[in-house]
Amino acid sequence: MNVLRFGMLAFSALSLSLFACNSGGNQSSTATDTTTTTAPTTTPSKEVTLELSGSDQMQYDKQLLHVSPGQDVTLIFHHAGKMPKTAMGHNFVLLQQGTDMHAFDSAARVSGDPNFIPQKLSSEIIAHTKLLGGGESDTIKFAAPPAGSYDYLCTFPGHSATMFGKFVVQ
């Protein structure tokens, strides 16, 4: 009987403490909500800064980037590895919708361009960085394209098999 009474007493105390926490949390939340509703929440900022890294393991740290249509995008790309660009170079190439990523990558490999950017396919590129070695960074600025999903990849030979992602504009 004492165990049952103790259990009920503990349950009651727990319920009261949860109720008190929720009650206080709601008041705080209401105050916060009141201040944020005065600012426009549907209009995204005109500018956005994105950071992306590539590693010596041939991986981007993000496979999905989000922006809004027309935003001024600043992309900071960093090669987080230690290997030189002749052995493990990385870049970021954002392609137009409908571009065949594999065909583009094949053209990049044989382009002869030191950054592996095929000039004959420049109309299929929205933006790109230069080729980076370990510890290097590059910053590019461009306007976000219309709403949709766009592919990005690293065009250093062989890297696009694991270094690619989606740039989602919505």
- 95-111: pLDDT as tens digits: 999 999 999 999 999 99
Q: CATH no. for residue 93? A: 2.60.40.420
Burial class (CB in 10 A: 0-12, 13-18, 19+), 24: exposed
**Are 142 and 92 in contact, with CB atoms under 8 Å apart?**
no
Query: Do 160 and 142 share a structural domain?
Result: yes
Does 6 have pLDDT greater than 50? Answer: no
Query: Do 135 and 93 share a structural domain?
Result: yes
Please name the residue that has the structure tokens 């009920």. 8
Q: How many CB atoms lie under 10 A from the CB of residue 77?
A: 23
Query: Do 51 and 132 share a structural domain?
Result: yes
- Half-sphere exposure for 122 (CA within 13 Å, toward CB): 4
What pLDDT is stored for residue 134 in this prediction? Answer: 98
Query: Do 59 and 126 share a structural domain?
Result: yes
Residues of the chain with pLDDT > 70, as a percent, come to 74
Cross-strand pairs, 151: 166
Query: Do 55 and 23 share a structural domain?
Result: no
Mean pLDDT of 102-130: 97
Rounded Cα distance between 111 and 154, Å, is: 14
Does 29 have pLDDT greater than 50? Answer: no
Query: Do 12 and 79 share a structural domain?
Result: no
Rounded Cα distance between 166 and 163, Å, is: 11
Query: Do 86 and 15 share a structural domain?
Result: no
What is the domain count for the chain? 2
Query: Do 165 and 82 share a structural domain?
Result: yes
pLDDT-wise least confident of 19-23, 46-50, 70-74, 94-98: 19-23
pTM higher than 0.85 for the full model? no
Strand order in the sheet with 148-153: 64-67, 164-169, 148-153, 93-95, 125-128
| Residue range(s) defining the domain that contains residue 104 | 47-169
CA-CA-CA-CA dihedral for 39, 43, 45, 49, to nearest 10? 120
What pLDDT is stored for residue 45 in this prediction? Answer: 82
**Are 144 and 131 in contact, with CB atoms under 8 Å apart?**
no
Query: Do 82 and 32 share a structural domain?
Result: no
Mean pLDDT of 41-54: 84
